[in-house]
Amino acid sequence: MNLSERYVVHWIDVFGGRFSETLGYGKRVGNEIDFIFEYPDGPFRTNFIWNATRGPMALADDAENTSGQWTTLPNLTLSQTERD
């Protein structure tokens, strides 16, 4: 049984090891999981949104600026491709 009832995500990307040290924590509400990453230079939020009718998952990213305002970054849509 999952006692914390939260998801954990670990990004591994091209921005270097320092950024990959921070884990994101989120809770599922309906078809969405909103992850918060507490980076040293400010919070970052990624929202996973599953579209049950079309199938692909969208990622909506926001970063908090030094004024405490959230800035929306370009969104991504993930989809499956078939291989031969």
| pLDDT, tens digit (0-9, with 9 covering 90-100), for 33-74 | 888 888 887 888 888 888 777 666 777 777 887 788 887 776
The three-class DSSP label of residue 62 is strand
Asked if pLDDT for residue 78 goes beyond 80, the answer is: no
Q: Is the pTM of this model over 0.75?
A: no
Q: Would you state the pLDDT for residue 65?
A: 78
Give the other-Cβ count within 10 Å of 33's Cβ.
Answer: 19
Domain containing 58: what range?
7-78
Amino acid 64: pLDDT = 82
**Coil/strand/helix, residue 51:** coil
Whether residue 19 contacts residue 10, with contact meaning beta carbons closer than 8 Å, is answered with no
On whether the CB atoms of residues 8 and 24 are closer than 8 A, the answer is yes
Whether 1 maps to a domain, the answer reads no
Does residue 26 carry a pLDDT above 90?
yes
The whole-number pLDDT of residue 41 equals 79
Is 13 contained in some domain? yes
Number of domains in the chain: 1
Domain membership flag for residue 27: yes
Does pLDDT of 30 surpass 80? yes
